[in-house]
């Protein structure tokens, strides 16, 4: 589904007026910390989550993941409360986050040349704190989180909202993603997308 060369140094065609980045696993290597937080928060409510399941859910809103797992495992819990606990546990260790340098180089290179947005399945407050931990908050014009849309990835809503706030048409936006659900969402939004996973080795 990635439509462009996998070299992060490749020149971006001029027709793309805006760049839209996922956050977790695209801009910041948050996934190991998220998984540890997921395991602890889910254990507290009697839900199990494997690393394979965790990565397969990449991009899906936290509450939706919990609702899905609870249904599969016949567990009754307050998904919103469990999601809040998961985010609290994640934020406890946020200072140990690492940026994904190959993608960050694109952000620095394109700052001031094109409009840029972050569109993530996470809550916007957590997105801001994650990016602040690696000094990136000021680099973006627009932030869209799970709390801004009715339907998370793989629905296209989050990317369409980002384009709308950038005042651009979907076809004028290029998306950077690391999750299959996010790639599906970008394609559904009528945008071209680059899968950043070949550019780095996520910590596990």
Q: What is the pLDDT of residues 78-118, one digit of tens each?
A: 999 999 999 999 999 888 888 999 999 999 999 999 999 99
pLDDT score at 105: 95
Considering the segment(s) 31-95 as one domain, its CATH architecture is Orthogonal Bundle (1.10)
Burial class (CB in 10 A: 0-12, 13-18, 19+), 110: middle
Strands 142-144 and 192-195: unpaired
Measure Cα distances from 155 to 161, 177, 182 in Å.
11, 14, 9
> Reduced to 3 states, what is the DSSP secondary structure of residue 16?
coil
pLDDT (tens digit, 9 = 90+) per residue, 159-182?
999 999 999 999 999 999 998 999
Q: How confident is the model at residue 1 (pLDDT cuts 50, 70, 90)?
A: very low
Q: What is the CATH number of domain 18-30+98-199?
A: 3.40.50.1000
Domain boundaries, the chain: 18-30+98-199, 31-95
**Residue of 96, 35, 46 lying closest to 75 (CA atoms):** 46
- Within 8 A by CB and 6+ apart from 106, the residues are 8, 19, 176
In whole angstroms, give the CA distance from residue 149 to residue 127.
15
> Mean pLDDT over all residues of the chain?
92
Establish whether domains 18-30+98-199 and 31-95 are of one fold: no
16 HSE (CA, 13 A, CB side): 20
Total residue length of the chain: 204
pLDDT (tens digit, 9 = 90+) per residue, 24-68?
999 999 888 889 999 999 999 999 999 999 988 887 889 999 999
List helix spans (H) across the chain: 31-44, 51-56, 62-72, 79-92, 101-110, 124-133, 157-166, 180-188
pLDDT score at 3: 53
Contact 121, 95 (CB under 8 A): no
Assess whether 22 carries a catalytic annotation.
yes
Contact 123, 146 (CB under 8 A): yes
DSSP 203: -
């Amino acid at each position: 589904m990635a439509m462009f060369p996998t070299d992060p140094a490749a020149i971006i065609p001029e027709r793309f007026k805006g760049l839209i980045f996922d956050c977790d696993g695209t801009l910041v290597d948050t996934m190991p910390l998220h998984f540890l937080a997921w395991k602890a928060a889910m254990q507290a409510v009697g839900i199990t989550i494997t690393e394979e399941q965790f990565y397969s859910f990449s991009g899906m809103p936290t509450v939706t993941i919990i609702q899905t797992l609870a249904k599969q495992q016949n567990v009754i819990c307050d998904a919103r409360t469990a999601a809040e606990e998961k985010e609290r546990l994640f934020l406890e260790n946020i200072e140990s986050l690492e940026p994904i340098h190959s993608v960050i180089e694109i952000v620095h290179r394109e700052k001031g040349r094109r409009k840029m947005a972050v569109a993530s399945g996470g809550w916007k407050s957590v997105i801001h704190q994650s990016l602040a931990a690696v000094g990136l908050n000021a680099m973006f014009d627009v932030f869209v989180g799970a709390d801004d849309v009715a339907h998370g990835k793989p629905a296209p809503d989050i990317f369409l909202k980002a384009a709308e706030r950038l005042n651009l048409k979907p076809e004028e936006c290029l998306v950077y993603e690391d999750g299959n659900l996010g790639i599906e969402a970008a394609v559904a939004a009528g945008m071209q997308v680059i899968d950043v996973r070949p550019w780095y080795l996520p910590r596990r």
